[in-house]
Amino acid sequence: MLRSLMSTNHKDIGLYYFIVSLWSGLVGFGLSLLIRLELGSGGLLIGDEHLYNVLVTSHAIMMVFFLVMPLFMGGFGNWMIPVMVGCSDMLFPRLNNLSFLLVPMSLLLFLASMYLEGGGGGWTMYPPLILGSYSPSISVDMMVLSLHMAGLSSLLGSINIILTSVLVSVLHGSSESTPLLVWSLLITAGLVVLTVPVLAAALTMILLDRNFMTSFFDPVGGGSPVLYQHLFWFFGHPEVYILILPGFGMISHIVIEMGGKFEVFGCLGMVYAMVSIGALGSLVWAHHMFTVGMDIDTRAYFSAASMTIAVPTGIKVFSWLASMYGSVSWKSSSSLWVMGFILMFLIGGLTGVIISNSSLDTMFHDTYYIVAHFHYVLSMGVVFSMFVGLNYWMPLVVGFGMPERVLKMHFYFTFISVNLIFFPQFFLGALGMPRRYIDYPDSMMFWNSVSSFGSLLSLVSVLMYMIGLFYMFSECRGVMFSGKVVSSMEWGISTVWSHHTNLEGVVIYS
């Protein structure tokens, strides 16, 4: 077992990333169920307000740092980049292995911090709440160190992705033939290298304030809590695009394959759109801080720049729709997931344009309207693209796929349940319900009950997917002898140099 964990093969490491990140996703999903059970009960079900804050904090960190980032950049990045650019492995295999080993170590440290008394300061970790005066427990220090390790893992993996993609593209002539999935992972890796060190600096200053009597963020000693917000959101807003950009690449790739086309409509424009999204996303961090007392000119800039991101995002949506027009079969589960992704991301994007207005954001700030907005982008946009990728490339990774009827049923249950969870939260935000509050007036009971019912329905969809996976693996022995052998052409990697791919035949279970 230990020897296998030390493997430097990109496929082995990608598979380990899949296992760890999906397990983390199940833990984060379980935490979200506890949150919704508490909010749907009308009273105090858990009975401990501090425990509720710990659940909210842990759910966010598990989903962002231990599900989406390792799954997209570690799992899909390791598996697909060498295959798509035509090389036998990542450029630095041992660095690749080290970047993976840091993830379970970071995860164990974070899980340990959850079981210690203290913590619960929110995933944004705003001072002075997170400082020693209000959160003296070692649990916070363990959580910060865990995020340091997770950030180091992301940095090492991103450096590997950048150098592998760029070097191979240079060696093989032109970057114009580089697949959009590789472009999206390359831009994502660039954002990680740009922003994660800023988060690391902010976390280091928090550790110093907590343990060495400095006053970077402590107002008692002349520090500025607003400085921390600037540092955090310089990472925090590009983080949204770090999470969603790989999904853009996967959707683009699968749209091409569904339509049987050589490339997506406006392929070069799609690349420029992703670069623009990454660049603009790094310049609008302070639209999360409209309530800290900015002057009117600064608010006007960040409002205008935030709205500008809608332009390249719209280019991508219209390019996907143009690519699908007249050529996509609606009989496949992939087409359902792609359209579900576009719809969910569209709702998240439009509500983002609304709250980019500084006046409206001042009203909606820290209400459930914000929660609904970013969950439509992340919980639906990211997770839908995640399921698209898992369903589409699962036969390539493990050798066999799930039945189409199960994938379609899973889509319908997921689509209905997530909309039941998060769409009522727009109404709760309009009613003024603050986020991270454990209780609320009786007038908000109905929409909270609807949201919690949707959460229970999402449990059915997750169990359905897990049962489908279990059934698929239990039947794999018979499938290997009676199933359909599929060539690499099925995954759109026919342009890969055949002597580099080393792909074996795989089996589709039906």
435 is catalytic: yes
Given 36, 59, 299, 410, which residue is catalytic?
59
287 is catalytic: yes
DSSP character for 444? G
89 is catalytic: yes
375 is catalytic: no
CB 358 within 8 A of CB 289: no
Name the residue with tokens 């400082």.
131
Compute how many other C-beta atoms are within 10 angstroms of the C-beta atom of residue 134. 12
Given 52, 58, 89, 210, which residue is catalytic?
89
451 is catalytic: no
Given 99, 169, 178, 252, which residue is catalytic?
252
Given 210, 237, 299, 365, which residue is catalytic?
237
Helices (H) and strands (E) in the chain, counts: 20, 2
Compute how many other C-beta atoms are within 10 angstroms of the C-beta atom of residue 172. 14
313 is catalytic: yes
One-character DSSP codes across 404-424: HHHHHHHHHHHHHHHHHHHHH
404 is catalytic: no
Given 16, 79, 241, 376, which residue is catalytic?
241
497 is catalytic: no
237 is catalytic: yes
One-character DSSP codes across 324-387: HTTT--TTSHHHHHHHHHHHHHHHHHHHHHHHTSHHHHHHHTTBHHHHHHHHIIIIIIIHHHHH
Given 230, 261, 435, 500, which residue is catalytic?
435
Given 10, 36, 148, 288, which residue is catalytic?
288
CB 164 within 8 A of CB 95: no
Given 10, 210, 316, 375, which residue is catalytic?
316
Distance CA 28, CA 432 (A): 26
Distance CA 238, CA 81 (A): 22
133 is catalytic: no
DSSP character for 418? H
Omega cis (within 30) before 128: yes
Taking alpha carbons only, the member of 84, 103, 87, 85 closest to residue 13 is 103
Distance CA 447, CA 436 (A): 16
Cβ-in-10-Å burial (0-12, 13-18, 19+) of 168 comes to buried
What's the token pair of residue 29?
């999903």
Given 24, 146, 154, 455, which residue is catalytic?
154
3 is catalytic: no
SS3 of residue 297 by DSSP: helix
Given 99, 135, 139, 153, which residue is catalytic?
153
282 is catalytic: no
Given 38, 141, 218, 239, which residue is catalytic?
239
Given 188, 313, 414, 451, which residue is catalytic?
313
94 is catalytic: no
59 is catalytic: yes
Active-site residue list: 59, 89, 123, 153-154, 237, 239, 241, 252, 287-288, 313, 316, 435
